[in-house]
Structure 1
Amino acid sequence: MTLSKIVIWLARALAILGGIVLVAVTVMTVASITGRVFIRLGLGPVPGDFELVQAGVGFAIFAFLPWCQLNRGHASVDIVTSFFPARANRIIDVIAEVLMTVVLGLIAWQLYYGMRDKLAYSETSFILQYPVWWIYAACLLAAIGAVIVSVYMTFVRIGELRDGAPAETPGQGAVH
């Protein structure tokens, strides 16, 4: 299996996992709201629903980052750069990829320290009392996936700059 296939698989797997978590959070939210509506019939809200939404959405955001990075899905401003020559745009792309890699690395680093802190102090959620470090660990794993994809894409952009032509990367369907 080539490196590009591994990176694509990693990004896709994390995005699918993030989507599954987001669907589960949505279903749980609907069940909780429905339970509140029918409280007179003996139903009720899902205990700790807001805690589960926070945890699930937080993880989903980090899980979607690798796929977004792979597909150049981040916001870009092309008003000025559309007038630049192709080489200048490739240089800007390399700089943007390097900066994104640095930012994602810093985020992963801080998630690691946050997770260690939550683990050391045995912090738990207010209602469900689950260890908060679990969520930090899940987000950290997804953030590490984003760093891996971002490093790979930095080398792809450097190759584009060197070769003078866009690389064949998966899912380059994002329109900016």
Structure 2
Amino acid sequence: MKRIEHLLGRVAGLFAVVGGGALLVLAGVTGIAVFYRYILRNPIFGIEDVTTMALTVLVAASIAWAAVNKGHVSVNIITSVFGRSVTRITDVVARLVSFAMLGFASYALFVKGSCGMPCGAMTSNLGIIHTPFYYVLAAAMAFYAAFVLSHLIIGVQHWHGADPNEVTD
């Protein structure tokens, strides 16, 4: 399992690099758009489309990176009330539900993305096809599902001890 966690960390690093690139594109496009709109008084046609697509890549990368770096919000009330004996069970249930939801979201994004132009999945001004962006979001959700599944397996392996991935206060 250590190798799998290491591999997932490396993949999250790749998502972070792609997200960093998207952030640079987003910052550059925004700066150029502001310059053209307010200094030259000539807004760039379709700039919203480029911004939206860059933001989609940034969100996908953030999902994957935050999963590995514990950036997602979690509230752990059960531990303070009932203790580890109950959270063993609730952790399994929560991780199974999370895995199912993320898997379903990933599947739905792949299906929706595969439709592409026939379904009208393109930006309104420039006609940028959404398909690759749906796939990037689907990959991020699939990555997060795999990450949750690895935590589920590790949690079951540490059933009688402390779960190394359990949220601490």
Q: Paired residue for 1:142? A: 140
The alignment status of 1:153 with 2:154, answered yes or no, reads no
Q: Paired residue for 1:54? A: 52
Q: What is the alpha-carbon root mean square deviation over aligned residues?
A: 2.6
Q: What TM-score do you get using the length of structure 1 for normalisation?
A: 0.79
| Residues 49 and 128 in structure 2, CA contact (< 8 A), matched pair in contact too | no
What is the CA–CA distance in structure 2 between the aligned matches of 1:83 and 1:123, rounded to whole Å? 47
3-state SS in 1 of match to 2:116: helix
Any unmatched runs of 5+ in structure 2?
A: none
Query: Once the two structures are superposed, what CA deviation does each residue of 1:118-142 show, in whole Å capped at 9, x if it has no partner?
Result: 2544743222222221221222222
| Residues 33 and 44 in structure 2, CA contact (< 8 A), matched pair in contact too | yes
What is the CA–CA distance in structure 2 between the aligned matches of 1:127 and 1:118, rounded to whole Å? 16
The alignment status of 1:94 with 2:92, answered yes or no, reads yes
The alignment status of 1:164 with 2:165, answered yes or no, reads no
What is the CA–CA distance in structure 1 between the aligned matches of 2:78 and 2:89, rounded to whole Å? 14
Q: Paired residue for 2:63? A: 65
What is the CA–CA distance in structure 2 between the aligned matches of 1:78 and 1:140, rounded to whole Å? 28
What is the CA–CA distance in structure 1 between the aligned matches of 2:72 and 2:121, rounded to whole Å? 34
Q: Give the Å deviation of 1:4.
A: 2.0
Between the aligned residues of both structures, percent identity stands at 20
Q: Paired residue for 2:37? A: 36
Q: What TM-score do you get using the length of structure 2 for normalisation?
A: 0.82
| Residues 14 and 63 in structure 1, CA contact (< 8 A), matched pair in contact too | yes
Q: Paired residue for 2:122? A: 124
3-state SS in 2 of match to 1:77: coil
- Number of residue pairs matched by the alignment: 168
Distance 1:39 1:53, change over 3 A: same
